[in-house]
Structure 1
Amino acid sequence: MIDIHNHILPGIDDGPRNWEEALELARNAVANGITTVIATPHHAHEQYHNPAEGILSLVEQMNERLILAAIPLQVHSGQEIRIHQELLDSWEQGKRGGLLTLSGTKYMLIELPSGRVPEGTEELVYELTLKGITPIIAHPERNRELAADIGLLKRLIDCGAFAQVTAHSLIGIFGRGVEKTAWTMCRQGLIHFVASDAHHVTKRYFCLREAYQAIQEKMGAQTVNYYKRNAQLLLDNAPIQTAPVSSAAPDGAWGRVKQLFGRGR
């Protein structure tokens, strides 16, 4: 399996504090059936500022240590970029701007504040797409404004974004309300990726296998394959198809049509 969002790099955000903890988290990923991760430390966050150069160096070191420790995991570079006013300018500055896409692809992981959708987010998403970047919204189910009005997420997707749900949300770790919102977003075809957002081997561990098992039970093997395939397509920098809507949703019939004739990006 491929995990596109996690905090496995040590000492730079709220993930592992040191190399020992980072390698322990890597072993946890392998035990969960994961072979490849894209490391996405927080960037442009109130507490964390992790520009590209430092991340690339840590990823190189991490892969070297994984080989020495005989841990069969490959780490790619990325960031979880908090929405901010200078985001577009930073991207246009290239290396000086300090931004990374996911594994050097056209896909960029962006994070909204937990309580709101900042004014101008739809415009930002659209402007990024004009520059050839496809933004992926991290854990929309944990944003209070999106949870209260799922139509806001649909509008962001219509502007060109994709969305990634957190595995922990699907299995109830963040509470019943977040769990319910996560499943609603999945069933309405508003989720395109499942990722761990792992931070710690016991508190916020890799649990993709558990999440995919839950998805298979509630939505079927085809949906599991859809999410897994999208992670591979992202890594290959290939177009992603829009999400199928579950037949359990009110517009399930239309969802099955979209599944057959879905538009790629």
Structure 2
Amino acid sequence: MLSKNKIKYIQSLSRKKIRDTEKAFLVEGDKMVTEALESSLTVETLCATTDFLRANRRIVSGDTEVIEATADEIRKASLLQSPQNALAIVSMPEIGFDLGVLNDKLSLALDFIQDPGNLGTIIRLADWFGIKHVICSENTVDCFNPKVIQASMGAIFRVQMHYINLPAVLGEASQSGIPIFGAFLEGENIYKQPLSSSGILVMGNEGNGISTEVGALVSDKVHIPSFAAEGSESLNVSMATAICLSEFRRRQL
């Protein structure tokens, strides 16, 4: 049975202040909860229907608090419009940051991404294109926001997220010889620009793009050209990220 206090606690995880204090976040949906159980992260509490528990008992750690709940109880606790059969409270991973993890590989840097859906989609894209590390400015939306978690479709369990002083880290990376690419409207055509198999790709804010401070550290400005005579002025940042990552990876084939 799912108590009123537990329901209240689950719903409180919608707030960043509570997540930061508890060092925990909420995962909802059968597939997402299954991925959480199979990941290296610690699932503190699993609330699920009898059928879900019966089907997934083998992957539930003995250290996890298991609460058998009805569909109606899960609906009352859920933050989703269409709840499924399970939700879980997961401990935040403790991930330190060392500039060395960016050497000899392609990484992403996000400068003030505000929309949770965009961030979740970008995390999913990073997972798809084999990006293991995403470094975020401190004002980028929290990656443990429930909407980010849902949009990531499980990729949050495989991609390491780092919230850091972005200009400082990019400055260190530049001094270490790591190439820094950035998406700009005035950049060079990405399909003609030389691209390396390693480096940092910076994507900017939805409305304002890459900030002046971060932009000053970009060594190679790239642009996705439009093939329409008349059309949209720009692309959604998650769409632009997909195109850029695809072109970087295509050059490796």
TM bucket, shorter chain = 0.3 to 0.5
TM-score (norm 1): 0.32
In terms of Rg, which structure is larger? 2
Query: As a proportion of its length, which structure holds more strand?
Result: 2
Query: As a proportion of its length, which structure holds more helix?
Result: 1
